[in-house]
Amino acid sequence: MNPHVTRKSGMRLPEAAYREYRGQWTALSADGTRVVAHADDLSTLEERLEADGQDPAKLIFDRVEDDDTSLGGAELL
């Protein structure tokens, strides 16, 4: 699988729902409003999607960080 990976800004979920998936990979609906599946690693996530008959090409993949740290461009310089 070669998913298109987005960052937190790509998710359109309520913050409480976002926190539920800390430390995990999520597969989101194309509009970013629904978590279709989640897992600790991409391999397991791919297995779950295949078992559910989901098309990974139509989903957005996001790694939810373990904490609230979010670095912008200025912090990376």
Beta bridge partners of 62: 6, 26
Distances (CA, A) of 61 to 43, 44, 74, 75: 12, 13, 25, 24
Residues 4-49 pLDDT 10s: 444 444 567 777 777 899 999 999 998 888 899 999 999 999 999 9
Q: Is the pLDDT of residue 68 over 70?
A: no
Neighbours of 31 (CB within 10 A): 8
What length is written for the chain? 77
pLDDT of residue 11: 62
Give the residue with greater pLDDT, 73 vs 40: 40
Provide the pLDDT for residue 52.
95
